[in-house]
Structure 1
Amino acid sequence: MSFNYLSFTFFQNNIRNEIISYNAQNIRFTSERYEEHFQLVQKQMYALYFNDDVDRLQKASGNARYALLDRVKQEIIKVVGNPLIYVDNAIIVFKEGSLTLSRIGTNDRASLFEKFYASTDYPDSFWQKQFNETYSAKMFPMSKFYEHSFHKAGDVTTKGLFIPYVLKHWQNEDFYIVAMMDANQLFEAFHRSVNANFIILDKQGLPLFSTGGLAKREELPELPVDKTYLLRDNTYYFYQTGQNSGYTYINIIPSASISKQISKLNLTLFVLLILSLIVSVVISVLFSVRFNRPVKQLVSSLQTAGGEDVRFKSNIREFKLIGQKLDDMLQTNARIQSDLAQKNIQLLSYSYLNKLKKIYSGSPGAIDMISTQAYRFVVYEITYKDRFWEEMKEEPGPLTYSIYTFINHSLLKVFPASLTIQIESRQMLSVINEIDDSRLDAYMTELLKVVAHDADFYFLTIAISPAFPQSFDFTEAYEQTVKLLQERKLNEDTQIVRQHAGRQSVHLLTSAQEQQFDCNLAAGNTQELLHLLDRQLALMERKCETVLQYQEFLIDIVQKVRKAFHVLRLDERAIQPVIAGLSTSQSFYSGRHYRKFFSQLLVAACEEIRSNQKNEDPVIDFVVDYVNKHFAQDITLDIVAEHLHITGGYLSTYFKEKTGENFIDYINGVRIRVAQQMLLETDLRIQDVASSSGYQNINSFNRMFKKFTGMPPREFRREKRTEDEVS
């Protein structure tokens, strides 16, 4: 009782100091978390800033630019998709063309900042002005951002309360990146005080964030640099300056609030004192009167039972119950130990995932669990065959988990220190710290035998990395191993890939084949297009090309179709459902999948092209018909315009507007296509082919033929006949 009384007196005298210390620790913790997070966002944005695709994007054009825009967009989505970074969007603002690129796609800068991320504090002129500023990284005060409907009378949607963080570099002033940090999410994640009055000031003392709206600096007292709190006008100001940013973090707590806390704690301590006195007296009496001898008996029983069964004979009902409960506790403890071991494995798995994705988990101890020895990665990718989807009535999740469980348990028998985790829906990763090629080869041989039993339903692609030294970057090593998956051959067998094939060239269409493809696509000739692609796929199958090369070929054909639609001014909605299937192309494992995709794409594209051609235009129809009939004769703009009773200038402008092609280019295109056909189907001399296709000068014919096909007529005839013989 004396101890309880002394404790009460001590805590009563020191409770105000403890509350002040508690609030000082809170603001210190909050400032540290904000500082760490600002550094994390800065690293993520600079990683995006110096991304190779972003650098190449400024110089690219045409199909290459479309592909780069899409890849950079996916990288932005991956960065801001991390829920722990609290960034709503990362926006790349280019100086040239007022273009922006973000997770919602490409937009004009004015459109983005006046419709999708509109703010009265940050109009479009503000973002234009940032190109002339000399800082490398700067955070601006929070502001409420809105999204305006495309309709004038549409609703205005609140996007959120964001803190714009602008980053750029003096080496490249052609663009900068804006990270829209969610102010409310940051506050909820890092602020620990029960009082919600919180302010962040920048180095100049201007407010960046405030829970009650941006306050004016004049409303705050001067904060001494040698203290951590200030009492002024019955209000406590707890503050801390960030070591990296120089920002000042302030918690504002009224003195009345602290006094109220003190009163509550005093009452609580007093009640606890009274209760402790009562409990002490009661327990003392019970133990002295009834529990002395039974306790000795219980201790003796525990010592002789070895922890297996503590129950013993006793006339005291309470001790029978204690014996039963202790036995249950021992069994529960065993289950807890087993569960704890399993959770330790899960914690290690999460630590690896965090390290792979460079996510700060707030627990350095977890990262320390990862071995610092040399290591190698093994990535397994499961591909389910058509028969699985036809016969199985459930999703592949349970089967994937069974495969993962088998690999994990079997690999632990060979490499006890290894760890296997599932990183994607169809991908698993094994981390092996013991570098022993002979044991790994033996394990892979046994694994292939097991997988062969279910070869009708799925196959594995196994990428085995070389041994990486401990100093090698963890994420880079993982990315190198994942790239090996693209080196598998296109077939239905389980394959093990250990190194890159080293092939630089991709078997895309030749210049002559591209010309043939473009001509047939413009004419809507589905069968000719499919025949051309079928021959190219057959050639790739004979040469055992890799999945990566098939994917590049697939993307190239899609880009050609989209480019043709752009030139012909056609709506891509006709082919959009097919193009959306590109997301599943990674699961293609045979030529028939690519043939099916090309068939769906080209049938839809040619139907749209032919449908567009049915929209008759008397002027264009006459020009096309006249050129097709008189291509071998001298054709000029004025001759055709005279037949139509219009001027040559008007016909030139009209033809360009309707077809997207110059009149003279169209004539040359028709003549070169006729010349190609004669070169392939006849044995006429080159001079005769030139004359028959409308060119009286052999030099003009050779120059124009090379412009359209990329090679002289003689070489075109020889190469095409060689390809036909190979096919």
Structure 2
Amino acid sequence: MPEFIPRSIKPRSLFSKMLTGFLAVIVLLVAFNFITSIYLKNKIHDEIVKYNELSITHTVEGYENHFRLSKNMVLGLNQNDRWLMNLNILRNVKQNNGYASVEDVRAELKTLYANPFLQFENIIVYFKNDAFVVEKDGTSSAQDMFGKYYYSPRYPLSFWNGKFDERVGFSVLPAAEFTEKSAGIEMHKGYLLPVLIKQQPYNDMYLIVMLDAQKLFQIHNISKDQRFYILDPEGNPIYTSASDFKIEPLSAIEASESSVLKGNYYTFYKKGQETGFTYVSMVPAEKISLQLVRLNMILIVLLVLAAMISIIASVLFSRSLHTPLRKIIESFQSSPDDDSLLKQGPIREYDLIRHTMHRMMKTNQDIAQDLAQKTSILRKYALSNRLKHIHMNLADMREMADTSMPFRIVLFDIHFKEQYAELDMDHEKGTYYIREYIDSVLLQTYQHAVTFQLERNLVLSIVFAEDSELSGIMKPIGYLKQMFDIERDLYLVTMAASSVYPASSEFTSAYEELTERLKQRRLVNETQIMEDGPWKAERFHFTVSMEEEFHTRLMSGHEKGMYDWIDKQLDQMGKKAAPVEHYSQLAREVEQQIDKSLQKLNLNGQRSGTAPPFAKLQSFYCREQFRDWLVQLLEPVIRLIQNKTEDQDPITRFVIDYLDSHLHEDITLDLMADKLNITPGYLSTYFKEKTGMNFSDYLNDIRIQRAKQLLQNVELKIQEVAANVGYQNANSFIRMFKRYSGITPGEYRKKYASPLLAE
């Protein structure tokens, strides 16, 4: 092992002088970094506190805006004359026999609690005179609502009755746990935040908005691990994120700054301008301290590492300079020398070198005449060596790719088939062999060609040459296609060549051109070459007709009808020679339409099994693969819908069968209720619970679907189609058709019943 430090270090040696200078600089730098880290630590602490202050400000603005929006949205219903008329009827519902107005009120409320941004769990309208309520699930007595369906020890029926006498138009009540007690089963409704809203001038009714308190906290709080609570102007808690910590009294909060360290927590306060609530966020002090401790540890480790590396580098650098000098001096001292002739200086090594150089200059004068005679020979010898050296450098340059030359990029997309895996062969090795073969073929034509693997199935070649030479690149590509076609039973290759680019600065543009061009790959079992020329990918979209037909066949639960639809779409895409990208987009659209259909049936969370992976779609090369994939996707969904249909009760089955066979008649909810000998309100609630749709929406939906089928017959007039599906007024039919389809019956017939378009 070579020595690390010279055997003897003298005070006047070059090594000691250089090492001392390096160490002095290292000490100054370490001291500077240490002082800077102390200063930055205090600054970072202030920034962390400031960040939490901004966080509580953001939270307060979120809550205040949400309360204001909730109030405005509910009070905005008063702008609707129909809403006010229905409320006046329901205030004395028994006297007015106004139960028919319940559905209209619920329909207006649905626009509010169905809005996902409002976080309304429910909206309850409490009428004092008949002691009943209207909410999203229907109507019930006040005793059942607050004793069974929304029960909380904190909010008994007497509490809500007492609110009729208060003169408060808007009030946010403390959050509480609500449960539903029905048939001996207790079901948790959630941690809800009641908001009481009175509409002027009514004193015998008011609205209760049930906000989901936990979702509000998740939406309006940046940090989820903080302790958070809200106090009303009197200091009573409105909401707490956890029940295991002490709540500061309002007097202590008002006397404090916006943030303060109390005990083991940094407490941040903020008062809302709209409600007057006080919002309090408690962040563990140890969380902030831990961040600073980690920062200190990182800085200390960095300082130590920097000092150690600097010292080692200084020693090595000093030694690298000292060692050659020491060897030179030892060679000088091998001949007799008189140390008395040395002039003393600050560095001993330099003194020896200066004395030796003086002797060398005197020696040069003695050989000057001898060198003059040999100048001619030496000049020829030097020129010869110089020429050889230049010649070697030029050869080295020829072996490198000149990136200033024009170039083209060729991209190879490789898809291995199942037969390749059956041979127990590794895909990585297969890609490697294909890459090597591509490289050998291109190098036969282009000297400056570089081929390498980009991804698991992508190989890229860059060819440098003159413009005239690059125009013939399709010849080796055509040869590669012939070779790849021989083994197309094992794998398929799609090739695309870029345009000619002038310099390497255009590499990115060339690669983007090829990735877009590869999207042209068609669904054929052969090697493909994507030809030159611009190409812009067009996205595949479901038309209105396709979406309606898909939904109708899927909801019917018939496998054959659904699979016939798949064959129809695949056949049309095959006739158009659609690229594989469009087939993949069709698969994704089908997945989205399945979700929409299952949501209508309230079955979205009941899908069983695992959907086939979308990643496999890009490797498909024939129609049957896409059909098998879509069948695998749809099969469990159809089975689920069939089970849903089989589970329908006799009442729902009777209504559906009756509507299907009497669709041309004037059908109403009262008519169906009379045939079943039940009340219309009960039938409406029951039908919605079983099917997931209102009776009127279901009736209009199947009428419009039947009308679309009849519109395919161009010999039927619009008036005749309307009468066949139960609309006696053509204007009502046109209006309802446009509402459910987005276009008029005439536009639908022109678009989908035309023989030219159908072809």
TM value normalised by structure 1: 0.52
Distance verdict in 2 for CA 1:718–1:486, change over 3 Å: closer
1:329-362 superposed Cα distances (whole Å, 9 cap, x missing partner): xxxxxxxxxxxx9xxx9xx9xxxxxxxxxxxxxx
For residue 460 of structure 1, report the CA deviation from its aligned partner.
1.0
Measure, in 1, the Cα distance between the counterparts of 2:294 and 2:540.
62
User: Which one of 594, 617, 624 corresponds to residue 585 of structure 1?
Assistant: 617
| Other structure's SS at 1:439 match | coil
2:583 is the alignment partner of 1:550:
yes
Preserved contact between residue 507 and residue 540 of structure 1 (Cα < 8 Å): no
Cα offset for 1:265? 7.8
**In structure 1, how many angstroms separate the alpha carbons of the residues matched to 2:600 and 2:418?**
37
Question: Counterpart of 1:396 in structure 2: which amino acid?
Answer: H
Post-superposition offset of 1:712: 2.1
1:427 pairs with 2:453: no
Q: Which residue of the partner structure matches residue 616 of structure 1?
A: 648
d(CA) in 2 for partners of 1:398, 1:680: 57
Shift of 1:714: 8.4
Out of 398, 409, 412, the residue aligned to residue 377 of structure 1 is 409
The letter of the residue matching 2:473 is L
What are the residue-to-residue correspondences of 1:630-649 with 2, within 5 Å? 630-644=662-676, 646-649=678-681
User: Shift of residue 384 of structure 1?
Assistant: 2.0
Q: Which runs of 5+ in 2 are unaligned?
A: 37-115, 120-213, 231-243, 245-287, 335-395
477 and 648 in structure 1: CA distance in 2 versus 1, 3 angstrom threshold: farther
What is the match of residue 604 of structure 1?
636
| Structure 1 letter corresponding to 2:438 | I
Structure 1 counterpart of 2:427, which letter? P
Aligned to 2:726: 694
- 1:399 maps to 430
Quick check: 1:207–1:214 contact (8 Å CA) kept in 2? no
Kindly tell me: are residues 212 and 690 of structure 1, through their superposed partners in 2, closer, same or farther at Cα, counting changes over 3 Å?
closer
Q: Is contact 2:413–2:459 with CA below 8 Å preserved after alignment?
A: yes
Distance (Å, rounded) in 2 between the aligned partners of 1:13 and 1:502: 70
SS of equivalent to 1:594: helix
For residues 444 and 18 of structure 2, what CA distance do their matches in structure 1 show?
58
Task: After TM superposition, give the deviation of residue 682 of structure 1 in Å.
Answer: 10
How far 1:501 moved relative to its partner?
Answer: 6.8
| Contact kept? 1:110, 1:124, Cα under 8 Å | no
SS of the aligned residue for 2:519 comes to: helix
Letter in 2 for 1:668: N
| Pairwise CA distance, 1:571 | 3.7
CA distance in structure 1 between the partners assigned to 2:32 and 2:408 by the alignment: 41
Q: 1:383 to 1:16 in 2, by over 3 A?
A: same
Do 1:420 and 1:430's aligned partners in 2 also have CA atoms closer than 8 Å?
Answer: yes
Does the aligned pair in 2 maintain the 1:632–1:693 contact within 8 Å? yes
Q: Distance in 2 between matches of 1:612 and 1:688?
A: 35
- Over 3 Å counting, the alpha-carbon distance change for 1:651 and 1:470 in structure 2 is farther
Matching of residues 502-541 of structure 1 within 5 Å: 502=535, 508-541=541-574
The Cα shift of 1:591 comes to: 1.2
- Find the counterpart in structure 1 of residue 15 from structure 2: 11
Alignment check: 8 A CA contact 1:515 1:708 kept: no
Q: Which residue of 2 aligns with 1:21?
A: 25
Q: Which residue of 2 aligns with 1:147?
A: none
Q: CA deviation at 1:654?
A: 4.6
2:449 to 405, 411, 418: 418
RMSD: 5.2
Taking the aligned partners of 2:492 and 2:724, their CA distance within structure 1 comes to 56
- Taking the aligned partners of 1:543 and 1:214, their CA distance within structure 2 comes to 66
Q: Counterpart of 1:431 in 2: which secondary structure?
A: strand
- 2:599 and 2:508 map into 1 onto residues whose CA distance is 39
Q: How much has 1:704 moved relative to structure 2? A: 3.4
CA 1:427–1:464: 2 relative to 1, 3 Å: same
Give 1:74-473 correspondences, 5 Å limit.
Answer: 111=218, 118=224, 212-213=294-295, 371-389=403-421, 391-434=422-465, 435=467, 436-470=469-503
Q: Distance in 2 between matches of 1:497 and 1:27?
A: 64
Determine helix, strand or coil for the equivalent of 1:574: coil
Q: Which amino acid aligns with 2:577?
A: C
Counterpart CA distance in 1 for 2:525 and 2:479 is: 19
The AA in structure 2 aligned to 1:11 is F
Give the CA deviation at 1:470. 3.3
C-alpha distance in structure 1 between counterparts of 2:732 and 2:428, whole Å: 64
Query: Once structures 1 and 2 are overlaid, which stretch shifts more, 557-566 or 475-484?
Result: 475-484
Relative to structure 1, is the Cα distance of residues 591 and 110 closer, same or farther in structure 2, using a 3 angstrom cutoff?
A: farther
The TM-score, its normalising length taken from structure 2, stands at 0.50
* 3-state SS, counterpart of residue 426 of structure 2: coil
Q: Is the 2:470–2:500 Cα contact (8 Å) retained in structure 1? A: no
Cα distance in 2 between the residues matched to 1:518 and 1:689 = 22
Residues 562 and 572, structure 1, Cα contact 8 Å, conserved in 2: no
Residue 18 of structure 1: how far off its partner (Å): 1.7
SS at match of 1:418: strand
TM-superposition CA deviations, 1:16-44 (whole Å, max 9, x none):
4323435777999999xxxxxxxxxxxxx
Cα–Cα, structure 1 residues 208 and 97, in superposed 2: closer, same or farther, change >3 Å?
Answer: farther
Q: Judging changes above 3 Å, is the alpha-carbon distance between structure 1 residues 572 and 465 closer, same or farther for their aligned structure 2 residues?
A: farther
| CA distance, structure 2, for counterparts of residue 124 and residue 405 of structure 1 | 67
Equivalent residue number for residue 241 of structure 2: none
Gaps of 5+ in 1: 32-95, 100-106, 126-151, 153-205, 216-236, 239-249, 285-340, 349-368
SS of the residue 2:415 aligns to = strand
Contact kept in structure 2, 1:461 and 1:496, CA below 8 Å: yes
Equivalent pair of 1:109/1:124 in contact (CA under 8 Å) = no
Partner Cα distance (1:587, 1:575) in 2: 26
Percent identity of paired positions between Structure 1 and Structure 2: 27
- Partner Cα separation in structure 1 for residue 478 and residue 623 of structure 2: 28
Instruction: State whether residues 414 and 439 of structure 1, in contact with CA within 8 Å, keep that contact through their aligned partners in structure 2.
Output: no
Aligned-residue offset at 1:537: 1.2
* Distance 1:448-1:504 versus aligned 2 partners, 3 A rule: closer
How far apart are 1:405 and its partner, in Å? Answer: 0.8
Q: How far has the Cα of 1:412 moved from its partner? A: 2.4
CA contact (8 A) 2:453 2:460 kept: yes
How big is the shift at 1:446? 1.5
CA gap 1:26/1:643 in 2 versus in 1, 3 angstroms? farther
Which residue in the other structure is 1:477 paired with?
510
Structure 2: distance between partners of 1:404 and 1:28: 54
Q: 2:699 matched to 1:667?
A: yes
- Per the TM alignment, residue 441 of structure 1 is displaced from its structure 2 partner at its CA by 1.6
- Alpha-carbon deviation of 1:586? 0.8
* Residue in structure 2 matching 1:574, options 607, 613, 637: 607
Question: What amino acid is the match of 1:672?
Answer: I
Task: Tell me, yes or no, if the aligned pair for 1:98 and 1:108 is still in contact at 8 Å.
Answer: no
- Superposed displacement of residue 383, structure 1: 1.5
Question: Does the Cα contact within 8 Å between 1:631 and 1:671 map onto a contact in 2?
Answer: yes
1:373, distance to aligned residue in structure 2 (A): 4.2
| Secondary structure of residue in 1 paired with 2:726 | coil
Choose 615-624 or 393-402, whichever is displaced more: 615-624
Gap change, CA 1:453 and 1:265, over 3 Å in 2: closer
